[in-house]
Chain A
Amino acid sequence: MKPMAKNGILIVIVAVLAFAPLFLVRNGEFAGADDRAEKAISTIDANYKPWFKPLWEPPSGEVESILFALQAALGSGFVFYYLGYAKGKHSASKKDQA
């Protein structure tokens, strides 16, 4: 099998792993850590008060989501820039040899 076909299969597996829980766990809230962890800690130590607040918090879920999207976009932008660069360099050096 070609490497690209293999990678395609791998991507499909990852997508299934990532999205299957949405269908498998019908009543899940799929919330993140923050408030839930607070509860878990307070069941162990009811008197614990966080002693430091984040310096800045995204004012809303929308603002938070754009920051997360930005993080992913910047990261994947560079990852794929590099992969393209490597591929281009590879085929250029192949041409030189030929």
Chain B
Amino acid sequence: MDLRNLKNISLLIAYVLAVYIVFPNNAYGMHIMEGFLPFNWAAFWWIAMLPFVIAGVHSIKKTVTLHPSLKMLLGMAGAFAFVLSAMKIPSVTGSCSHPTGVGLGTILFGPTAMTVLGMIVLIFQALLLAHGGITTLGANTFSMGIVGPLVSYGIYKGCQKLGAPLWLSVFLSATLGDLMTYITTSFQLGLAFPAASGGVMASALKFMGIFAFTQLPLAISEGILTVLVINILSAYSQKELGFLGVFTGKELPTRKQGVKA
């Protein structure tokens, strides 16, 4: 036990040192700012976003008509994304970024439902906080509300198929979905601003190095917080989670007191 702890601590220190060496100065990691995507790219991401928003509205309508009692839980999933995107948390790169909080809703309601909720959060931040933007809403929704949730969903379903414990599936799903959101942002910036030498990939990798390192501890935090909420829900909202098929049939009757974490 002590040996394992020691190993973990030394790994953590090695990680922090590596970050120091690679990124001695401040990095950044957040949504794309207003006006910072050329018009054509901004329009492209807006159009790319629309089918997912429509699918999301349908998916939400369907869930709510089938189970009106789930409205509260849906609101809670949206509120979770709302809180987490307001938290600008310091990271080891010496700058701040914020988690997305869409993993929880994805696990509960599926990926497209979170496209809609994520977009609402982004609109609020763009209009009232000048964080992100209306012209870049398409691109930001695409990364936070489409790619992130799709990745979360795929990982969650995959882990469940492989028979991973619920807490692990939830953790990996939320953490990697969060990371992929910012990797997508890097690609979006790379596509819009290809480097003079090396083109799109060089530029995307540059943005990605910065984003991924800043985001890593935050993504882990988001994963843990999502596990925490799922723990509480699985203790008190078993019925609702049952409607949504969050548990595989096997887990529902045996786990009464929450999930192992």
Residues of A within 8 A of B (CB): 2-3, 6-7, 10-11, 13-14, 17-22, 24-25, 27-34, 36-38, 40-41, 44-45, 48, 50-58, 64, 67-69, 71-72, 74-79, 82-83, 85-87, 89-90
- Nearest-neighbour CB distance to chain A for B188, whole angstroms, equals 12
Q: Are B30 and A33 in contact (CB under 8 A)?
A: yes
Q: Are A17 and B221 in contact (CB under 8 A)?
A: yes
> Can you list 23 A-B contacts with CB-CB less than 8 angstroms, sorted by A residue number?
A3-B235, A6-B258, A7-B231, A10-B227, A13-B224, A18-B90, A21-B90, A30-B94, A33-B95, A44-B194, A44-B195, A44-B196, A50-B36, A51-B39, A52-B35, A52-B134, A53-B35, A57-B130, A78-B82, A82-B72, A83-B233, A86-B237, A87-B236
User: Bound complex: CA of A22 vs CA of B92, how far in Å?
Assistant: 8
The answer to the question of B5 belonging to the interface, with a C-beta cut-off of 8 Å to chain A, is no
- B contact residues, total (Cβ < 8 Å): 78
Chain A interface, >50% SS class: helix
Q: Are A54 and B126 in contact (CB under 8 A)?
A: yes
Closest to A39 in B: B28
Residues of B within 8 A of A44 (CB): 193-196, 203
Q: Are B236 and A74 in contact (CB under 8 A)?
A: no
User: Bound complex: CA of A33 vs CA of B257, how far in Å?
Assistant: 42
- Nearest-neighbour CB distance to chain B for A19, whole angstroms, equals 7
Q: Are A7 and B228 in contact (CB under 8 A)?
A: yes
Residues of B within 8 A of A85 (CB): 72
B224-261: CB near A (< 8 Å → 1, else 0) gives 11011101110111101000000000000000011011
Q: Are B92 and A40 in contact (CB under 8 A)?
A: no
Q: How many A-B residue pairs have CB under 8 A?
A: 199
Q: Which of A10, A18, A74, A90 is close to B261, meaning CB atoms less than 8 Å apart? A: A10
Q: Are A76 and B193 in contact (CB under 8 A)?
A: no
Q: Are A75 and B86 in contact (CB under 8 A)?
A: yes
Residues of A within 8 A of B189 (CB): 41
Residues of B within 8 A of A90 (CB): 235-238
Q: Which of A33, A51, A56 is close to B127, meaning CB atoms less than 8 Å apart? A: A56
